[in-house]
Amino acid sequence: MPQRKSVPEEFAYGQMIDSLCKVGRHNGAAQSQCKPDVITLNTIISGFCRMGRIEEALKIMNDMLMGKFTSPNAVTLTTVICGMLNVGRIREALDLLHKVMPEKGVRPGVVTYNAVLRGIFKLYGESKAIEVFSSMESDGVLANSTTYTIIVDGLCESNQIEEAKRFWDDVIWPSNIHDDFVYAAILKGPCQSGKFNEACNFLYELVDCGVSPNIVNYNILIDRACKLGLKAEACQIVGEMRKTGLTADAVTWRILDKLHGNVGKQVCVSANAQFEEGLQEFYC
């Protein structure tokens, strides 16, 4: 594994800009043409945000807003919003969305909203998040599957499984915008809230509706079954999975392997037989 070089603490804003201009001069460009473009600046801002050096990120953004360099775009502001959310400065992050962006005529896209949504769920909870989701819709920004994954995750994390299911029925399924990540979120939620059967039914419904869940989706359920000691159910799910043409992967095996230690604990014989039979089929 190549070791990632860490950026020295003292490698700060002023120095950064100096080096950018030097690069320009070496290339023989006139100094006025050496100003870093928006992508360069966004990349630097992103780096500062990732290091938690939000002040330096803000400094660049403010210079851009004041007309030094080029104007910030949606990526610039989204990057800073994320940086702020990550350090808990929610108020200021929302100010950027609600004040600075409109003032500067920069329209937030779905990525901006998704970033904000995640932050809002974590820090303000579900009702505020749904508010943001609504304002996103009224803003004419179309949700994507990441949006829906964030919402399902957010609801399930606060144990609102029913809400999540309703959101799936009312919004996600009709939208036809859903992928393996959304399925994973909505399967994992019930599993973690002790509603394993609900999760199973949901998966089978999906398949009935023509969706093809992937191996990770199945692994989530198989893992839960194993953790609950439901060996027969685990086998059953593996069987259903194989019907769809999927085969156990390394993770599935690692999950199933745990069952071996539990053989005979409180598991009925037929379940064991079925399990062994299942194993044999895997080897074919």
Partner DNA sequence: CTAGGGTTAG
Min separation Cβ 274 and DNA, Å: 21
Cα–Cα–Cα angle for 225, 229, 233, nearest 5°? 45
Instruction: Count H helices and E strands in the chain, helices first.
Output: 17, 0
The nearer residue to DNA, 120 or 130, going by C-beta atoms, is: 120
The nearer residue to DNA, 10 or 103, going by C-beta atoms, is: 103
The alpha carbon of 209 is separated from its chain's Cα centroid by a whole number of angstroms, namely 25
DSSP single-letter state for residue 171 = I
Instruction: Map tokens 């809400």 to a residue.
Output: 163
Angle between helices 215-227 and 250-260 (to 10 degrees): 10
The nearer residue to DNA, 149 or 236, going by C-beta atoms, is: 149
DSSP result, 52-69: T-HHHHHHHHHHHHTTSS
Token pair of 238 as six digits? 């593996």
Min separation Cβ 168 and DNA, Å: 14
Min separation Cβ 137 and DNA, Å: 15
Min separation Cβ 74 and DNA, Å: 5
The nearer residue to DNA, 30 or 185, going by C-beta atoms, is: 185
CB atoms under 10 Å from CB of 256, counted, come to: 23
Min separation Cβ 117 and DNA, Å: 9
The nearer residue to DNA, 30 or 137, going by C-beta atoms, is: 137
Min separation Cβ 122 and DNA, Å: 9
The nearer residue to DNA, 42 or 236, going by C-beta atoms, is: 42
Q: Which residues bind DNA (CB under 7 A)?
A: 38-39, 42-43, 46, 73-76, 78-79, 82, 109-112, 114-115, 118, 144-147, 149-150, 179-185, 188, 214-217, 219-220, 223, 249-252, 254-255, 258
Q: Are 256 and 234 in contact (CB under 8 A)?
A: yes
Q: Are 162 and 198 in contact (CB under 8 A)?
A: no
Q: Are 161 and 190 in contact (CB under 8 A)?
A: yes
Residue type, 162: E
The whole-angstrom separation of Cα 183 and Cα 214 is 9
The nearer residue to DNA, 43 or 262, going by C-beta atoms, is: 43
Min separation Cβ 41 and DNA, Å: 8
Token pair of 250 as six digits? 């390394």
